[in-house]
Copies of this chain bind each other. A is one copy, B any other.
Amino acid sequence: MASISPIKGFPEWLPPQRMVEQQLLDRIRRRYELFGYVPVETRAVEPIEYLASKGGDADKEIYVLRRLHAEAEDRDGSGLGLHFDLTVPFARYVVQNRGRLSFPFRRYQIQKVWRGERPQDGRFREFYQCDADVIAPEKLSLQYDVEIAQLLFEVVSDLPVPTPTIQVNNRKILEGFYRALGLEDITPTLRIVDKLDKIGPVAVRQLLQDQLGMSDEASGKVLLLSEISGSGLGVLDQVRALGVQHPLLEEGLAELEFVLRGASDIPDGRLRANLKIARGLDYYTGIVFEGQLDGHEDLGSVCSGGRYENLAASLGSPVKLPGIGVSVGLSRILARMFGKELLAPSRQTPTCVLVALASEEARPVALATAQRLRRRGIPTEVYDRAKKWGEQIKYASNLGIPYVWFPAGEGRPDHELRDLRSGAQGPADPESWTPPADDLHVGILRKGG
């Protein structure tokens, strides 16, 4: 038996961190529901044929299943892989249930996904994605691109983490621009430009010339385009000033303008056009987003998404089902926040009241008292052994439990309650005592950053 140790890329939180994670998941969910998005959950597995060829290095990151002792002819579980995102499964779900959904279908979905990539800072093999998407048959209004931008900003800025900036671009701009430069297959160019932040402009230009045979002038223009960014509509003019013309480029610029204007209530330049954003997955066809947190730009994007016109068709749908959506990478955010100790729960347990145990004989009264408090919605536990008061109080104190309850009996005529923070102790009635709202449930303490 190997010694027990963590598995790289598969993060697990200690209970206080898990309490924070759960509260953030709840906040994200509430915010999606405030916008009227419907919850969906899909199975963890998809046929491999749906997962494969969705872009970049994704294929070799797919985990496939087989049964431990399956015989050769037993195909159970074979042909299935773990989903690597929630967009492909959602598109498949919509195609499969098309007749039973009401459109435009706005759904949110919060689940773990798996990618067999090399684990490194902020990159995991198992992590939470918190997605919201809209899909409709045939045509999906650009209004949803605006709504998704607003929703994404609201969801992330509602979290107790640094403020996000959402970067927006349009694949059509890149594709039109590259086509105008004479490139037919634009995917390799997108992939190379996508490496800008990692390897820098000089290396990117070299790759464009060496690998794609691009001219000095064309590769120069590609780089100039990628350097354009800003929160105002002026970016559109900067793109046009490069003197490259193509109908798809114009269409992309018009859509980008529509989103920048429509989502203008996102404050303080927090929505920025950034012409180098491409996103790695192949299914995006229009607007694309990604977001960073202030002061944590080195972490890379913590949320991303975009418009996909043809994903359903690629899964075999006879009907066109365009969609747009975003995903918040909560695990990446939390790993950073925990790593820098920026978030903690207000206590180490849901318990609000510890009922002290005077003696074994007093146990029935202690248990009944706990039940009375629980029936009134107050999280309560009973100390498990009749030990000295000091030890029981110390136990509560170590976990941050705010109150210790001393049941009536054994010379104590009334129930008494001690607030461990003030040390104040006095009579209390289990049928009427109510803690302040802030004490009832675990809160989140935000530190520094």
Q: Give the contact stretch, choosing among A54-62, A186-194, A199-207, A269-277.
A: A54-62
Provide the bound-state CA to CA distance between A444 and B14, in Å: 34
Is A67 a contact of B77 with CB atoms below 8 Å? Answer: no
Provide the bound-state CA to CA distance between A235 and B317, in Å: 61
Is A41 a contact of B60 with CB atoms below 8 Å? Answer: no
Is B38 a contact of A15 with CB atoms below 8 Å? Answer: yes
Question: Which chain B residues border A10 with CB–CB below 8 Å?
Answer: 43-45
Is A182 an interface position by the 8 A CB rule? Answer: no
- Binary flags per residue of A1-16, CB closer than 8 Å to B gives 1, else 0: 1111111001111110
Q: Give the contact stretch, choosing among A90-98, A163-171, A289-297.
A: A90-98
**Chain A count of residues within 8 A CB distance of the other chain:** 91
Is A69 a contact of B60 with CB atoms below 8 Å? Answer: yes
Whether A15 touches B107, Cβ cut-off 8 Å, given contacts A34-B377, A141-B385, A379-B33, is yes
Question: Which chain B residues border A82 with CB–CB below 8 Å?
Answer: 65
**Which residues of A are in contact with B by a Cβ distance under 8 Å?**
1-7, 10-15, 18-19, 21-22, 33-45, 47-49, 52, 59-70, 76-77, 80-82, 92-93, 95-97, 100-102, 104, 106-107, 112, 114, 116, 126, 141, 143-144, 265, 315-317, 348-351, 363, 368, 371, 374, 377-381, 384-385, 395, 398-399
- A44-B114, A63-B65, A102-B348 known, 10 other contacts, Cβ within 8 Å: A1-B49, A15-B39, A15-B107, A34-B350, A59-B68, A60-B68, A62-B68, A63-B66, A76-B116, A77-B116
3 A-B pairs with least C-beta separation: A36-B381, A36-B351, A33-B350
